[in-house]
Amino acid sequence: MDMRKKQYNTPLAARLEEVAERNHLSNSDMARIAGVSRSSVNAWYKRGTISKDSAAKIASATNVSLAWLLTGTEEKNTLGLDEDELALLETYRAMPPIEQRNMLAAFQMRLQQLKEFYANYADPTTRQK
């Protein structure tokens, strides 16, 4: 069992440990995800710093925000998205790229179907009397 929490007492180390525990990741796993050496991961815990590139890879792989991993606080939702939209975006981002494209195509197809339905049956300007 890793003793990372007891060895290193930095805010970043605590967040990294939380991410590692939640996702059942060893330091070797985290090194593989970030594309760095295991000693680099150990240095993150010891120094309490991580490159933005490595942090972005870890955040993406573990489904946490980069802002939270780096600072401990969540970014505000500046896009004005509601909870359903945020959940949809989070789900989309968790998918492999090919599946993201498939889902986007499915949504676009469904939107076109709805537009056609509306034009044929619900639009008062095109409906026959």
Backbone angles phi, psi at 69, to 5 degrees: -60, -40
Dihedral, CA of residue 100, residue 106, residue 110 and residue 116, to nearest 10: 120
The Cα diameter of the chain in Å comes to 78
Give 3 or 74, the one with higher predicted confidence: 74
- The fold of the 4-71 domain, in CATH, is 434 Repressor (Amino-terminal Domain) (1.10.260)
User: What would the pLDDT profile of 96-128 be if each residue is shown by its tens digit?
Assistant: 999 999 999 999 999 999 999 999 988 777 666
- Across residues 6-20, what is the average pLDDT? 85
pLDDT at 124: 77
pLDDT, average across residues 21-39: 95
Tokens matching residue 8: 């290193």
CA distance linking residue 15 with residue 19, whole number of Å: 6
The pLDDT confidence band at residue 6, using thresholds 50, 70 and 90, is low
Give how far the C-alpha of residue 127 lies from the chain's centroid of Cα atoms, to the nearest Å: 45
CB 43 within 8 A of CB 25: no
pLDDT at 123: 79
pLDDT tens digit sequence for 35-89 = 999 999 999 999 999 999 999 999 999 888 888 899 988 765 556 677 888 889 8
What pLDDT does 41 receive? 96
Q: How confident is the model at residue 3 (pLDDT cuts 50, 70, 90)?
A: very low
φ, ψ for residue 54, nearest 5 deg: -65, -40
* Owner of token pair 């972005």: 56
| In the chain, domain spans | 4-71, 83-122
**Tokens 């600072």, residue?**
71
